[in-house]
Amino acid sequence: MGTRPDWFDAELLPYESRWLDCAGHDVHYLDEGTGPTLLMLHGNPTWSFLYRRMIADLSDDFRCIAVDYPGFGLSTARPGYGYTAAEHSSVVA
């Protein structure tokens, strides 16, 4: 599974990184807090880093899950991934 790259500054995103193998993609996500789940999905071309302050503010009351689509942020995409909305949706499902 994935690891955080050398350029990554953990002070800017002080949450545990988690990875999931999903159809050949190494998908990075954050899973912080407890309570009702908030699923945070970024647009193109951003990544879960976008939600770092929201997670800090909301994780006391909510379980915050923020996913990096394949090829974005700390996720890697398998060869042939087209980066379409339909493909992103398939990975999230």
pTM, two decimal places: 0.91
Structure tokens at 80: 């042939």
CA atoms within 13 A on the CB side of 20: 14
C-alpha dist (Å) from residue 40 to 24, 52, 79: 22, 11, 25
Give me the residue spans of the domains in the chain. Answer: 18-92
- Taking 90 as the threshold, does the pLDDT of residue 42 lie above it? yes
Closest CA to 37 of 19, 67, 59: 59
When pLDDT is averaged across residues 36-60 and rounded to a whole number, the result is 95
The architecture in CATH of the region 18-92 reads: 3-Layer(aba) Sandwich (3.40)
- Taking 80 as the threshold, does the pLDDT of residue 33 lie above it? yes
When pLDDT is averaged across residues 65-84 and rounded to a whole number, the result is 95
When pLDDT is averaged across residues 65-90 and rounded to a whole number, the result is 95
For residue 5, name the pLDDT band (cuts at 50, 70, 90): confident
